[in-house]
Structure 1
Amino acid sequence: MKILWILPYLPWPMTSGGKTRQFHLLRTLSERGHRITLLVQSKTEADAATRAALEPWLERLIVVPRRPLKHPLTVLAGLFAPWPLLTTVNGVSRPLRRQFEQLLSEPWDVIQVEHSYSLQPYLPVLQRAGRDFVLTEHNLESSLGGATYDRFPAWASLFVRYDQWRCRQWERKAFDAARQVVAVTETDARAMRQLTRTPVEVVVNGVDSRSFAEVTADSQGQRVLFVGNYEYAPNLDAVQWLLDEIFPQVWRHCPDARLAVAGYALPDSWAERWSDSRIEWVGFVPDLPRLQSRCALFVAPLRQGGGSKLKVLEAMAAGLPLVSTGQGASGLAVRDGEHYLAGDDAQALAAALVRLLLEPALAARLAAAARLYARQHHDWAVAGDELEQIYRTLPFTQEHPACV
C-alpha cells in the first residue's frame, strides 16, 4: 500500500513511548513492502542522525517546523479558539496545511493521522476533498486532566475546566470525522466507542523482542530501574512518589538497594532535592538493554496516564521482574502473582520491591512468564498484523485490491 503517515513529532530518537511506537510500526510496515511518506510537524530539526535512522524505512520524509510554544498565535488561539490547548499548540499552521494540500493531490491507499490533537490543520482539507482517513489515539486525552493540567496554578482552574470541555468536544468531532479510529488498549477503545459511531479497533503497543532477548537481569544485585520521558507529567509524579514515599520504606529493609532513574529530559533539580548516594541519575540511555542487564528489577509506580506502557513491555521482554501499579500495567493481560507483583499504594509497592529483592527465585519465575507474554502478544509483528488487518477493511484499499 501507498501510505501517508502524519505525526506531530519526529519519531527519532526514541525518547518516549509514542516515538518508539511510531518508529517500530513504520519499520514493520516498510519491511512488509508498504511505501510510506511521513509528514511531520516538529519543534526540532531532522538532523543527519535522525534522517539516517528514518529514511531507510520511508519513500519520503517531509518535516515542517512547528512555531515556538510561546508564539503569539499559539497564545491567542489557546485562549479564544474552539480547540483545546494541546490542539492549538500543534495546529493553526498555514505552512503545514499547504504542504498537506499538495500531498493530497496524490493517490493514497491509506491516510493515517496520529493523535487527535494533531488533526486540526488537516481536517478541513480532508473534508473538502471527501477523503477518508485513519485516526490513532494513543490516550483518551480528555480523561487525562490530572496528567495534563497539574502544572497549572490554582487560579487557572476555570480555564482548565474550559479546556477540558473543549478537549471532549474536539475528540468527538475528530472521531466522528475519521473512517476508522485506532486505540492502543481495549479499555481505551471501549471509552472511545462511547463517544462516536466510528468503528474503533485496537492495535497493541509492542516491543522489539529481538533487541531484548539476550538481556539477563542481575539477580544478585540490588538496583531497581525506572525509565520515563520527563516531559510527561505522569512520569514526574512517579519519580516523586518513588523517592518521597516508596523507597524510604524499601531502604528500611534493604539498605543497599539502589534506584536508577533513566530517561529523557531528567530535571536537573532532582539531584539536589534527593541527594542520597543510592540514587543514580542516569538520564537518557541510547542502549537500554545494557542498562537493564545491570538491574535486578523494574518498577512502574504510575498513578496517571492511559494506554499501555512501552517501558513496562520493554522491561518484561528483557526479563526484568516487575513491580507495578494497576495503571502501570494497564492495557496488558498480565496477572498479579503470575507475571508481576502489584500494588497501588506506597506501602504495597515497597513491600513488593523488598520481596523480590529478597526472593530471587520468585523474581525469576515472574520474569520468565512476563517475558514469554511480551514476546507472544506484544511483539511489533503482532501490532503490524493488527494494523494491516484494519487497512484491508477500509473502502479506499478495496478500490486498489492489488495493494493488499
Structure 2
Amino acid sequence: MRILFLTQVLPYPLDAGPKTRAYFVLRYLSQHHEVTLLSFVRKSDAAEAIDHLRSFCRQVIVEPMARSPWKDAGYMVKSLALHRPFLIERDASAAMTRRIETLACTTPAFDAVHADQLWMAPYALHFCKAAAQQGKRPLGVLDQHNAVFMIPQRMADAERNPLKRTLMQLEARKLAAFEVETCRRFDHVIWVTYEDHAAVQAEAARRGREVPNDGVLPICGDPEAIAPIVRAAQARRVTFLGGLHYPPNAQGVLWFAREIFPLVLREVPDAILTVIGKQPPSELAALHIPTRNLEIAGYVENPTPYLAETGAFIVPLLAGGGMRVKIIDGWTWGLPIVSTRIGAEGVNAVHGENILLADAPAPFARSVVDLLTNPELNERIACGGRRTALERYNWRVVYGGWDRIYTGSPHSDNRTGAVTP
C-alpha cells in the first residue's frame, strides 16, 4: 500500500517516547509498504535525522513549527473562545493544511493515511476529505498513544493553584469530547494500552457513543540491538531521564526532589539526584538540596556515563497517559526502576520482579534506599526488567500486529463531519 504517515514530532533521534513509537512503526511499515512521512520539524531537528529517515521511507516531507509563549497565549484565548482544546488549537497550521491538500491530489493516490497521535488526527481527516473531492477513498488509521484528556485531568488533581487547576479541568473536558468524536471518524484506531481505550470508551459511553478498538500494540524498542549498561559497583545516582518541557515530567521530578529525596539522603547521604532532560524547571535548582547531591544535566545526547553510575532509575509521575517509554528504555538498559503506579501504567510491571512500585513519599524513598543498599535486590530487579523488554517490547516481533490493519480489506465510511485543522 501507499501510506501517508503524519507525525507531530520528527521521529528521530529516539530521545522521547512519541518518537520511539513512530520510528519503529515507520520501520516496520516501510518493510512491507511504500511510506511517505510528513512531519512537523523544529529548529533543533538536524538534517542528519531527516536523512536517516529517508534511508527507509520513500519520501520525507517536513513542515516547520515554531512555538513561543506569546503564540501559546494567543492559542489559549482562541481555545477559550471556540471551546476547542488548547493542545489541538496550537498545532493548527495553514502551511501544513496546504501540504495535506496538495498530497491529497497526488497521483498515484495514497491508499491510507496514518495519524500518529491525536495531534495529527485533524490533518488526517482533512486529507480524507480532500481526497474524497478527487474521488479517492483512503483508509484512515489513528495510532492513539494516550487517552490524552487524562493528562490534564490528572495534573489538575495534583495542582494546588486554583486558577491552573480550573484551566486544566476545562482542558480535560474539551479534550474528552474532542477525543471521542475524533476517534469515531477513523476506520481503524490502534491503542497503546488497554487502559487508554477503556478511559476513552467510558467517555464515549457517557455520550451514548462507541469508539473503534482495533487492538492494542504497545510501544516497543529494539532490545536485541542494545546491550545492557555495565554499571559501577555501589552506584549512587538516582536518575530521572525525560523531557522536562512535558508538564507531567516536571511535576513528577519536583515532587520527588521536594518530598522524597530528602528521605533518601537521611539513609544514603552520598546519593546524587541526577536529572537528565531539556528545559528543567527553575524551581529544581532553588530547592535546599546540597550541590554535591544534585546534578541537573539538561539535555544529554548520550546518557550512558550517567546510566553506568545509576543505582536507581526513577519514574515518579503523578499524571500522564499511555505508556512511559522511559520504563521500556530503563528495562532495555538493565536498570532497576522505582515508579509510581501511574508511571508504570500500561506496561507489564510486576512489583518485586521487574520494578518497585510506590505512590507515597515514604515507601517510594524506602524503595530507592533498598536499591542503593541491597546489591542482590538491585540485580534481581534489573535482570527482571531486561527480560521483560526482550520478551514483550521487541518491535521486530510485536509490530506484526500492524499487518491486520494494512491488508487493503474493504471498509465503511464513518468519517462524515470530519474535523479540519
In the superposition, the TM-score normalised over structure 2's length comes to 0.85
Residue 370 of structure 1: aligned partner? 385
Q: 1: distance between equivalents of 2:32 and 2:214?
A: 26
Please state how far the C-alpha of 1:305 moved relative to its aligned partner: 0.6
Residue 90 of structure 1: aligned partner? 91
Kept in 2: contact 1:25–1:383 (CA 8 A): no
Within the alignment, does 1:113 sit opposite 2:115 as a pair?
yes
Within the alignment, does 1:198 sit opposite 2:212 as a pair?
yes
**Structure 2, unaligned runs of 5 or more:** 205-209, 412-421
Residue 9 of structure 2: aligned partner? 9
Aligned residues: 394
Q: 2: distance between equivalents of 1:37 and 1:254?
A: 52
Within the alignment, does 1:308 sit opposite 2:315 as a pair?
no
Alpha-carbon distance change, 289 to 296 in structure 1, aligned in 2, over 3 angstroms: same
- Output the amino acid matched with 2:88: T
Residue 186 of structure 1: aligned partner? 194
Kept in 2: contact 1:206–1:382 (CA 8 A): no
User: Paired residue for 1:259, among 269, 273, 296?
Assistant: 273
- Output the amino acid matched with 1:49: E
Residue 22 of structure 1: aligned partner? 22
Alpha-carbon distance change, 394 to 375 in structure 1, aligned in 2, over 3 angstroms: farther
Q: 1: distance between equivalents of 2:161 and 2:116?
A: 30
- Output the amino acid matched with 2:60: L
Kept in 1: contact 2:252–2:317 (CA 8 A): yes
Residue 381 of structure 1: aligned partner? 396
Kept in 1: contact 2:20–2:220 (CA 8 A): no
The alignment yields a C-alpha RMSD, in angstroms, of: 2.5
Q: 2: distance between equivalents of 1:382 and 1:340?
A: 23
Kept in 2: contact 1:193–1:200 (CA 8 A): no
Kept in 1: contact 2:260–2:361 (CA 8 A): yes
Q: What secondary structure is seen at the aligned counterpart in 1 of 2:178?
A: helix
Q: 1: distance between equivalents of 2:225 and 2:284?
A: 31
Q: 1: distance between equivalents of 2:45 and 2:235?
A: 40
Please state how far the C-alpha of 1:373 moved relative to its aligned partner: 0.9
Within the alignment, does 1:323 sit opposite 2:330 as a pair?
no
Alpha-carbon distance change, 152 to 369 in structure 1, aligned in 2, over 3 angstroms: closer
Kept in 1: contact 2:124–2:140 (CA 8 A): no
Alpha-carbon distance change, 284 to 210 in structure 1, aligned in 2, over 3 angstroms: farther
Q: 2: distance between equivalents of 1:288 and 1:381?
A: 25
**Structure 1, unaligned runs of 5 or more:** 397-404
Q: 1: distance between equivalents of 2:364 and 2:143?
A: 33
Deviates more, 1:314-323 or 1:50-59: 50-59
Kept in 2: contact 1:243–1:274 (CA 8 A): no
Alpha-carbon distance change, 267 to 162 in structure 1, aligned in 2, over 3 angstroms: closer
Q: Identity over the aligned pairs, expressed in percent?
A: 27
Alpha-carbon distance change, 147 to 217 in structure 1, aligned in 2, over 3 angstroms: farther
Kept in 2: contact 1:112–1:133 (CA 8 A): yes
Q: 1: distance between equivalents of 2:45 and 2:275?
A: 28
Residue 138 of structure 1: aligned partner? 145
- Output the amino acid matched with 1:38: L
- 1:157-214 CA distance string (max 9 Å, x none): 6654443332122112111100111111111122233423423421111122135324
Deviates more, 1:344-353 or 1:323-332: 323-332
Q: What secondary structure is seen at the aligned counterpart in 1 of 2:367?
A: helix
- Output the amino acid matched with 2:7: L
Q: What secondary structure is seen at the aligned counterpart in 1 of 2:55?
A: helix
Kept in 2: contact 1:147–1:233 (CA 8 A): no
